[in-house]
Amino acid sequence: MTLLTICLMALITFTTRYLFIHPRLPVRLGAKMAKFLSYSAPAVLTAIWVPIIFVQQGQLNVSWQNPYLIAASLSVLAAAKTKSIYFTMFVGLVSFVLSRYLLAL
């Protein structure tokens, strides 16, 4: 039953995406719908990262002892300054590991 559900969901996902990607199909989005859909990726990404950074053990944690918040803040600064994805990832990873290590002492 689980395998059938996974296969059906994969088929539905593929079909709905294929309708908008294939160039010969007559389905076209209007300008307003395309603009509306341009906000979906940032909205989904925000829904993913906000709980990871700000919620630990079911409670809001915005203190300076939150390693996720420290790493995220430093990553945002690095991204704004350098606009380099690799440097930003490096800064985030190193700052997260260091803050976890230093805050555990």
Contact 96, 71 (CB under 8 A): yes
Q: Are residues 43 and 10 in the same domain?
A: no
Q: Are residues 2 and 45 in the same domain?
A: no
Q: Are residues 16 and 54 in the same domain?
A: no
Question: To 5 degrees, how large is the angle CA 66–CA 61–CA 74?
Answer: 40
- Which ranges of the chain have pLDDT less than 50? none
Quick one: pLDDT at residue 18?
81
Give dist(CA 68, CA 53) in Å, integer: 5
What are the residues whose beta carbons fall under 8 Å from the beta carbon of 99, sequence distance 6 or more? 67, 70, 71
Q: Are residues 68 and 99 in the same domain?
A: yes
Show the tokens assigned to 74: 């430093």
Residue 34 lies in a domain: no
Give dist(CA 83, CA 95) in Å, integer: 18
Contact 72, 52 (CB under 8 A): no
pTM recorded for the entire structure: 0.67
Q: Are residues 24 and 68 in the same domain?
A: no
Give tens-digit pLDDT for 36-59: 888 988 999 999 999 999 998 899
